[in-house]
Amino acid sequence: MSDTVEIMEVSARDGLQNEAVIFTTEQKIDLISGAIDAGIRRLEVASFVNPSRVPQMADAEAVVAALPDRKNVIYTGLTLNMRGYMRALATRKSGARGIDEVGCVVVATNTFSVKNQGQSLEDSIVVAEDILKAAAKDGLRAQVTISAACGCPFEGDVSPKHVVDIAKRLALQNPHEIAIADTIGVGTPQQVFNLITALQKALPKMTFRGHFHNTRNTGIANAWAAYMAGVRIFDASIGGVGGCPFAPSATGNIGTEDLIYMFERSNIATNVSLKKIIELSKMLETVLGRPTPAMVSKAGDFPS
């Protein structure tokens, strides 16, 4: 292989948060354990948010308490405010391993930020800064995502300069990385390439992660464009399940199996078993009672 990419598996959080079927804690642990067995070494496992708004994540602490204690695996929890951060931090108390990393979110537009997090854009930046500062003080790894970076369902186009300005401000708090998210799946490969190139020019020492949705069938192409622009870490969801509950028609994370197939067939290593991920996708179909969106789980690997 000429290169290697890292996959952050987000099915247990971003994948399940938009599903009508609420998975049990045991089913989530089966999904997470299966992904680890397939070779995934970094997983977003829970969201410490208000359970009345996202009931699919009501068992966040129970999920974290039941996680396999694997030293070579990083478990990430999403925190949208300081209350969520304190809940995530509490999972590490009393000798428990708990969460290894927290992620916070800044939505690139004001209207979407209010609908998604109940905060203005400025307030969400301040909250993210506070979480990053707290994590540094508490010795907890932290990263931040800029959501709706390619477009907003309420305000339309988002200026690349605007995204770069947000990233530059967040970078002052030294996050482990900054993820660029096309939350509603409107981005195109050229747009993504240009945006990542601008971000890397502005912040050459920062690590960037790609989070793309396949809502309009451009997610996998956008991941390739981000790779060509220098990104080496990507979010993906087994079966392509998931989406944002607070954006109209924002369905379809990139399928983990689709991402693996694209990279491995392009001589780029993922160190993840495609066969095992396809098996997990089939398991998800059984629980959901419907086919999952990802394509490779339907067609299979390259014919031998």
- For the chain, the structural domain boundaries read 3-299
What value does the mean pLDDT take over residues 76-97?
Answer: 93
**Residue 168: Cβ-neighbour burial (10 angstroms; 0-12, 13-18, 19+):** middle
Q: Please state the φ and ψ torsions of residue 148, each to the nearest 5 degrees.
A: 55, 35
- Tokens linked to 128: 């993210």
- Tokens linked to 219: 């997610």
Of 236 and 96, which is predicted with more confidence? 236
* pLDDT tens-digit series, residues 243-302: 766 566 666 899 999 999 999 999 999 999 999 999 999 999 999 999 999 999 999 999
Given 104, 150, 152, 244, which residue is catalytic? Answer: 244
Identify the band that residue 2 occupies on the pLDDT scale cut at 50, 70 and 90: confident
- Tokens linked to 97: 């391993």
3-299 belongs to CATH 3.10.20.30 = no
pTM (two decimals): 0.95
What does the alpha-carbon distance between residue 170 and residue 143 come to, in Å, rounded to a whole number? 10
Beta strands in 222-288 (DSSP E): 233-236, 268-269
Q: Please state the φ and ψ torsions of residue 73, each to the nearest 5 degrees.
A: -120, 140
Terminal C-alpha separation, the chain: 19
What type of residue sits at position 76?
Answer: T
**Is the pLDDT confidence value at 225 over 80?**
yes
Q: Which of 135, 212, 213 is nearest to 179 (CA)?
A: 212
Is 244 assigned a catalytic role? yes
